[in-house]
Structure 1
């Protein structure tokens, strides 16, 4: 399957490590250079702003999907190609999943983890068949990945992580999966 759009889940904060922002920007530039549309949460703060602005810098397409309740907190990004305001978080996530061909998870907080686990769960239940990439910037997800591997080893998953998810350490590693 050719990837034309990628959902990116990431923090509305930048985090303490400057490499998080650098990787978000690198990924955004890469998506634009490959003419892959960014589908994301629509925010104009933190890593969300970094990736969206990097895509826009190279004249790429960005679709943001944001529930009304978050429009003020995450400061909706009015400079993107398309901003869709929806009623709630469930509608937001469903629409993001429907519009993307694959998903990349960057560093983030509880919302990012919620999105990661929901898309993994939907994948496991065959609600969708989209490949999931985790950008493990500076080991951000190493402990979580180890825990998910324990879930498989202890018999709580139906298949190995590798069948549904690919771990990347650098944004450039995504290129080999794009077409």
Structure 2
């Protein structure tokens, strides 16, 4: 059975170096014989991630709400494209299909998806890897803020449920099945 990584990343305009990062991740997913489940868009990092996965022979499952089909350019080349009524349904389907969760640089949508799977893992609702790939320090301010919160709000155990990496290979290793 194919292992699927849920990929969360930007769907809007970004510097080309971020598109290269998404391509590296997609290529690495396919090279391991894995598949990608992602937001179903064909723009920006989302599109680069899916195209690289397919180019390497990995299957892709896109999950996109009807309301975003035009804005995110639903990826008609996906091996499977699931169209949902709501964002909550999108996240549920991605969660059900994923064996690991990998967040790349992104904005509010990426953060919202990351926080949900990170929190549910911390609360014991799943035991799948939750990985943050941040080679440029995109999330440094956020992580610093979380680490500085007063005692009782964000525990070290909670922080430890997120694997933070700086390169694509280490991020993909962290997504591998646990021994």
Q: TM > 0.5 between the two?
A: yes
Q: Which residue of 1 aligns with 2:128?
A: 130
1:112 to 102, 110, 113: 110
In structure 1, the residue matched to 2:37 is 39
The separation in 1 between residues aligned to 2:13 and 2:164, in whole angstroms, is: 21
SS of residue in 1 equivalent to 2:6: strand
Q: CA RMSD in A?
A: 1.8
Which consecutive aligned stretches of 4+ in structure 1 deviate over 3 angstroms post-superposition? none
For the residues of structure 1 that align with 2:125 and 2:157, how far apart are their CA atoms?
A: 18
Please, which of 168, 171, 177 is the counterpart of residue 165 of structure 2? 168
Aligned to 1:154: 151
How far is the alpha carbon of 1:175 from its aligned partner?
4.2
TM-score w.r.t. length of structure 2: 0.91
Of 117, 140, 143, the residue aligned with 2:141 is 143
| Structure 2: gaps spanning 5 or more residues | none
Q: 1:85 aligns with which of 53, 58, 83?
A: 83
Alpha-carbon distance in 1 for matches of 2:21, 2:28: 10
**Which is worse superposed, 80-89 or 127-136?**
127-136
Deviation at 1:159, TM superposition (A): 4.2
TM-score (norm 1): 0.91
Deviation at 1:164, TM superposition (A): 0.8
Check whether the contact 2:2–2:35 (CA below 8 A) recurs between aligned residues. no
For these two proteins, the number of residue pairs brought into alignment is 176
* 1:106/1:8 CA distance change after superposition, 3 Å: same
- 8 A Cα contact 1:42 1:76, kept in partner: yes
Displacement of 1:157 in angstroms is 2.6
Structure 1 unmatched ranges of 5 or more: none
